[in-house]
Structure 1
Amino acid sequence: MALYETVFIARQDLSSAAAEQLTETFTQLLKDNGGEVKKTEQWGLKTLSFRMNKNRKGHYVLFNIDAPHAAIAEMERQMRLNEDVLRYITIRVEEHEEGPSAMMQRRDDRDRGERGGFGGDRDRGYRPRREDGAPEADLIEGAVV
């Protein structure tokens, strides 16, 4: 069987319990058609980039799926028919990522690295200087700064 990742967005006026029930419905549909959901992540209610069907927010859900194509096609057909699903996307992947997805990982300013924005010498206009206080030459030797 092939590996897939599916993300769908449910309407904002659904309760969290109703969004979870929708998730369970699609999970059971995949199981009935010979597939298996390896991981499910509820990303919660998030603001959309633009309005969709008069909705400004939506409940996001991620599935990591191991299923035949027929099961995926049936799940997508049911998503198209369901009025609570605003959008969905399914992609085929070579392997599923271990651990939480990028949306579920906690962002921390310390994890930004040296090119991450605030902090680091580059943001403060730091230039290396010689002992006498004059700036060091750039990459090309003999260059005047």
Structure 2
Amino acid sequence: MPLYELVCIAKHHTSLAPLHQLLRSSSALVAQNGGVVRSLDHWGTRNLPNRMKVGKRRGGGGGGEDGAQGRGVGDYWSMRFDCSPPVLSALNTRLRLDPSVLRWTTLKTGARLDQVAADAGESRTVRFARDLPPAAGQGERADAWDRL
């Protein structure tokens, strides 16, 4: 199954209950259809990049239940998961119909978990142009790869 990362902006509410419900329903949809949720991250409340027009069905701009007071801010969160493409389509439909979702995007991070893990491992590898100085208590120079 392909791995995906979903980044979402939801309307800001004074309580976190609507956001928790959105997180629960999104992760449950993936899990109930054979997918695996790898991580859920709440990035906090941040300013919106601009005024978002989402239509009357969603309540206009970025405000929550308290009207104009919550405009201009949103709750940002992300979810890493793997699922089949039909489940991803169902998740996009659910987010499109949810009135508390302002914007979202889904990125395909890789075709398989081992492929993504290998790519991440290569980017964290450090190569030195010269050998490291000798380690304390050893007379010979240590190889850079042994030190990692």
Count, aligned residues = 98
Q: State the Cα distance separating 1:14 from its structure 2 match.
A: 5.6
Aligned to 1:39: 39
After TM superposition, the structure 1 = structure 2 runs for residues 13-92 of structure 1, keeping only pairs within 5 Å, are 13=13, 15-52=15-52, 53-55=60-62, 56-92=72-108
Sequence identity of aligned pairs in percent?
Answer: 31
Asked if 2 retains the 8 angstrom alpha-carbon contact of 1:39 and 1:64, the reply is yes
Look up the SS of the partner of 1:46 in the other structure.
strand
**Whose strand fraction is larger, Structure 1's or Structure 2's?**
1
Q: State the Cα distance separating 1:91 from its structure 2 match.
A: 0.6
Asked if 2 retains the 8 angstrom alpha-carbon contact of 1:27 and 1:37, the reply is yes
**So what's the TM-score if we normalise by structure 1?**
0.63
**So what's the TM-score if we normalise by structure 2?**
0.61
**Counterpart-to-counterpart distance in 2, 1:15 and 1:76:** 25
Look up the SS of the partner of 2:4 in the other structure.
strand
**Whose helix fraction is larger, Structure 1's or Structure 2's?**
2
**CA RMSD across the alignment:** 1.8
- Runs (4+) off by over 2 Å: 94-98
**Counterpart-to-counterpart distance in 2, 1:13 and 1:50:** 18
Aligned to 2:6: 6
List alignment gaps of at least 5 residues for structure 2.
53-59, 63-71, 111-115, 121-148
| Bigger CA radius of gyration | 1
Question: Which protein has greater RCO, CA pairs closer than 8 Å, 6+ apart?
Answer: 2
